[in-house]
Amino acid sequence: MERFYITTPIYYVNAKPHLGHAYTTTVADALSRFHQLMGAETYFLTGTDEHGDKIVQAAEANGLSPMEYVDAISGQFKALWPDMNITNDDFIRTTETRHVKVVQSILQKVFDAGDIYFGEYGGHYCFGCERFYTEKELVDGLCPDHQTKPEYIAEKNYFFRMSKYQGWLREHIRQNPDFIRPEQYRNEVLSLLEGGELEDLCISRPKSRLTWGIELPFDKDFVTYVWFDALINYVSALGYPDGDKFRKFWPAANHLVAKDILKPHAVFWPTMLKAAGIEPFQSLNVHGYWLVRDTKMSKSIGNVIEPLAMKDRYGLDPFRYFLLREMSFGGDSSFSEEALVGRLNADLANDLGNLFNRTLAMTHKYFGGTVPVPVIEDVVDAEIKKLGQDAMRAFQAHFCGLRFSRGLESLWELVRGLNKYIDATAPWTLFKAGNKDRLSTVIYVLLENMRKIAVHLWPVMPESAQTMLAQLGITFARDKFNLPKELEVWGVLESGSTVAETSNLFPRIELPEAHAVVAAKVKPGKAKAGKAKDDTSGKEAPAGGEQSNGTIEFEDFQKLDLRVGTVVEVEPHPDADRLLLVRVDIGEEAPRQVVAGIAEFFAPDDLVGRQVVVVANLKPRKLRKQLSQGMILAVKSGDSLNLLTPSGEVAPGSRVS
């Protein structure tokens, strides 16, 4: 059986969890669930990094002992994950005995092998990063990450002979294209390894300066450097060296990190493993930053997004969907609630929600809520099945390659394809014509494809996917579904079973007012500045028609059929004072009737002969028993209403584009 081991960074406990932490952990959760549905046995680890100067400083600032402090913040991380439906199998803390023991045993092993030596070192130490920087690495004398001046520290310490493994690491990366991905980060590490001599790594801190750490097993006057300690969590949690889990899952180890901690993971960690005689991990997967107003989120800047606030405002699954859909893995992405609302309304409310609502309603209207038996197959059915297979295959391949945004975009080809399939097959016409055999097939094709979509969405939106399946009369169980099989099977949904009357899983959402005002003021393109960084990543094409500020995709706009029409006849609505029955010639056989709420602004005679803009493909509906076949566009300004009209007369039926 395939195995898949996924880890997140173990987070520092010097600050509360924010969107950045939530993103990495949500991606790990989606990957873990995805690989379960691909048929693998999975193991998912997260946890907290609790030693080092930074923690001591944060504890002092809060008037607590380091242990009291780490207990409190680690608890906040641990408590957050179930609220975000994160299904980690283990949560490791570096202050746990099981971890401390493994760190000490690995240190001893490497020391005994002669790869740790005692020496003197002077360097520029950044307390934020907990690491020494070389002169070359500083930017204008400042830490490139924190923009603070590091402190020059000279002291006697223990060193790991990292330089010894430089050649091996370079070759390993060259020969294993997926060892570091996406490629931009692989190239970054390769050029670092090709560009000069790797220095040995200082792996201790004298107790005279820091006591909050793991004591070196061979010198009780020193504690372990926090990175040498922290990285080992990935094997200590599996019970290295003899644990069953270590044997099973280590060969399938996939680490997930952001680019801020690329070097420790891509250089320190594999060389440490090599020196300790442990096989390298399978893959290091590196993503970019979530930016807020084009700046990396940080407590000091005050632009931190709280994941739980987003969850409470927009719902957990839509938030998870947004995180995966919006960011092109590898590049940076700008977070804004405008972008979030735009994305959710376009993809979830309009596309997916509509598909579910329409189809369930039709199943009830035409078949009393019972899944019909498909009878007459048509060429359009074969076409949509093929489209579905291609979309699902692409989704699976993209998710395997961590291209989540493109994977979801591929799946949406099927969602949109099914909405078009409804329009093309026009089930209401089949019903009117009494063509039940064909109607049964159309509804069945829709329902079975919806089932497949729901199964594919489980890794991203687990609760919603389960509800979608329940609405189709299916109880979800992980081992009941397999994604590769979904490419082949057809007809899993049982005819005769009952579906829900409505779905209403993804209602349209409004931007909270304060944001709506901001959105209106944002200059076009402004909020996309962060996105542009994505585009240069060259890894994953920017998610198709990226939406920022609640904008829609071009395809969405194209769905609108806007026509110029000439008003030929108008009469008051017999049962409603505010409504007029406006008959408009839009170049069809007969004028269309539009029921418009404009009686308080126009007398019927004012309108006849005018040209107006009509939304021609709006679903017809009855307003107070009168059929309305479209909508007339107008602008309200103060107490008056202005009708949209072309600046010169055009032929009725001319398309507005």
Interface residues toward ligand MSP, by CB under 6 A: 9-12, 20-21, 23-24, 49, 230-231, 233, 257-258, 260-261, 289-290, 296-297
Give the active site residue among 296, 385, 515, 533: 296
143 is catalytic: yes
For residues 232 and 607, which CB has a smaller minimum distance to ligand MSP in the complex? 232
For residues 169 and 231, which CB has a smaller minimum distance to ligand MSP in the complex? 231
Mention every residue, 6+ apart, whose C-beta is less than 8 A from residue 63. Answer: none
* Closest C-alpha among 248, 592, 321 to residue 468: 321
Give the active site residue among 51, 99, 124, 129: 129
Give the active site residue among 16, 299, 386, 480: 299
CA distance 584 to 562: 13
202 is catalytic: no
CA distance 644 to 598: 13
**Chain position whose Cβ is nearest to ligand MSP:** 20
DSSP-H helix ranges across 113-225: 166-175, 183-194
Q: Tally Cβ neighbours within 10 Å of residue 256.
A: 23
Minimum distance, C-beta of residue 48 to ligand MSP, in the bound complex (Å): 8
Distances from the Cα of 540 to the Cαs of 95, 174, 238, 332, in angstroms?
A: 38, 21, 33, 11
For residues 336 and 593, which CB has a smaller minimum distance to ligand MSP in the complex? 336
Helix, strand, coil fractions of the chain, as percent rounded to 5: 45, 20, 35
For residues 261 and 564, which CB has a smaller minimum distance to ligand MSP in the complex? 261
CA distance 234 to 44: 10
Q: Which residues pair with 47 in a beta bridge?
A: 10, 92
CA distance 189 to 263: 8
Asked if residue 280 lies in contact with residue 268, where contact means CB atoms within 8 angstroms, the answer is no
For residues 528 and 563, which CB has a smaller minimum distance to ligand MSP in the complex? 528
Asked if residue 378 lies in contact with residue 441, where contact means CB atoms within 8 angstroms, the answer is yes
Minimum distance, C-beta of residue 26 to ligand MSP, in the bound complex (Å): 11
299 is catalytic: yes
Minimum distance, C-beta of residue 298 to ligand MSP, in the bound complex (Å): 8
Mention every residue, 6+ apart, whose C-beta is less than 8 A from residue 61. Answer: none
Minimum distance, C-beta of residue 10 to ligand MSP, in the bound complex (Å): 5
Mention every residue, 6+ apart, whose C-beta is less than 8 A from residue 297. Answer: 18, 19, 20, 289, 290, 291, 303, 304, 305, 335
Asked if residue 309 lies in contact with residue 474, where contact means CB atoms within 8 angstroms, the answer is no
For residues 21 and 416, which CB has a smaller minimum distance to ligand MSP in the complex? 21
Give the active site residue among 35, 51, 54, 126: 126
Minimum distance, C-beta of residue 576 to ligand MSP, in the bound complex (Å): 53
Cα-based torsion angle of the residue sequence 122, 124, 127, 128 in order, rounded to the nearest 10 degrees: -150
Asked if residue 94 lies in contact with residue 233, where contact means CB atoms within 8 angstroms, the answer is yes
Minimum distance, C-beta of residue 346 to ligand MSP, in the bound complex (Å): 24
Helix pair 183-194, 166-175: axis angle to 10 deg: 150
CA distance 94 to 485: 41
Give the active site residue among 78, 101, 146, 164: 146
Minimum distance, C-beta of residue 528 to ligand MSP, in the bound complex (Å): 18
124 is catalytic: no
Phi, psi torsion values for 272, nearest 5 degrees:
-60, -45
For residues 142 and 262, which CB has a smaller minimum distance to ligand MSP in the complex? 262
CA distance 292 to 282: 32
Mention every residue, 6+ apart, whose C-beta is less than 8 A from residue 589. Answer: none
* Closest C-alpha among 3, 2, 25, 7 to residue 254: 7
Give the active site residue among 143, 202, 531, 573: 143
Minimum distance, C-beta of residue 169 to ligand MSP, in the bound complex (Å): 18
For residues 55 and 580, which CB has a smaller minimum distance to ligand MSP in the complex? 55
Q: Is the dihedral of CA 613, 614, 615, 621 positive or negative?
A: positive
146 is catalytic: yes
Minimum distance, C-beta of residue 304 to ligand MSP, in the bound complex (Å): 9
CA distance 191 to 496: 62
3-state class of 132 per DSSP?
strand
For residues 17 and 591, which CB has a smaller minimum distance to ligand MSP in the complex? 17
For residues 92 and 316, which CB has a smaller minimum distance to ligand MSP in the complex? 92
Phi, psi torsion values for 505, nearest 5 degrees:
-75, -35
DSSP-H helix ranges across 538-592: 554-559
Minimum distance, C-beta of residue 285 to ligand MSP, in the bound complex (Å): 10
Mention every residue, 6+ apart, whose C-beta is less than 8 A from residue 465. Answer: 454, 455, 457, 458, 476
Asked if residue 185 lies in contact with residue 160, where contact means CB atoms within 8 angstroms, the answer is no
452 is catalytic: no
Minimum distance, C-beta of residue 74 to ligand MSP, in the bound complex (Å): 12
Minimum distance, C-beta of residue 149 to ligand MSP, in the bound complex (Å): 20
For residues 449 and 537, which CB has a smaller minimum distance to ligand MSP in the complex? 537
Q: Is the dihedral of CA 330, 336, 339, 345 positive or negative?
A: positive
For residues 105 and 298, which CB has a smaller minimum distance to ligand MSP in the complex? 298
Q: Kindly list the catalytic residues.
A: 18, 21, 126, 129, 143, 146, 296, 299
